[in-house]
Amino acid sequence: MDPVSAGILADTLIGMVPWSRLGSTVTGLAQSMTDNPAHGVRSWCLTVDGAIAGVLVVHEAWLCGPYLKRLAVLPPFQRQGLAQAAIAWWEADARQARASNLWLCVSDFNHAARQFYEAAGFRQAGVLDDLVVDGLNEILMRKRLTAPILP
């Protein structure tokens, strides 16, 4: 994703849950949504009919599979299947790369997101207390794709 698109998205995301509650900044959000190949981070701008609709950011190499750093769909494009399509594409990409797992964190107060990820096959793997903000927890979630590949 290019910095201009990341800035446009950040301007809207800053007012949305969970970022509004986690103390995110526009600059920090924009920076987190740009590609960083040196650190194994890829990002995609989700579009609908040429309009910026959301973002998908993935850290490619984590624990035997990629980690979803950010998935967001802007309000005018929500409830149209865009997030489901992004997750399905990400999973297919990970399977093609022979990943064993998909990983993500969701804020414990973000019930709708957690239900969405559970419906997509993710299960709680742990709780990370005070990870982003003191007093708030992140739920580490995993979707197992294959049995572990032993050396």
Q: Which of 72, 58, 81, 77 is nearest to 24 (CA)?
A: 72
41-48 sheet: strands from edge to edge: 41-48, 51-59, 67-73, 101-107, 137-144, 123-129
Pick the CATH number of 3-144 from 3.40.50.620, 3.40.630.30, 3.90.25.10, 1.10.565.10: 3.40.630.30
Strands 51-59 and 137-144: unpaired
What is the average per-residue pLDDT within 10-29? 87
pLDDT in tens, 63-110: 889 999 999 999 999 999 999 999 999 999 999 999 999 999 999 999
What is the C-alpha separation between 118 and 50, in angstroms, rounded?
A: 30
Q: Tell me the pTM.
A: 0.87
Domain range annotation of the chain: 3-144
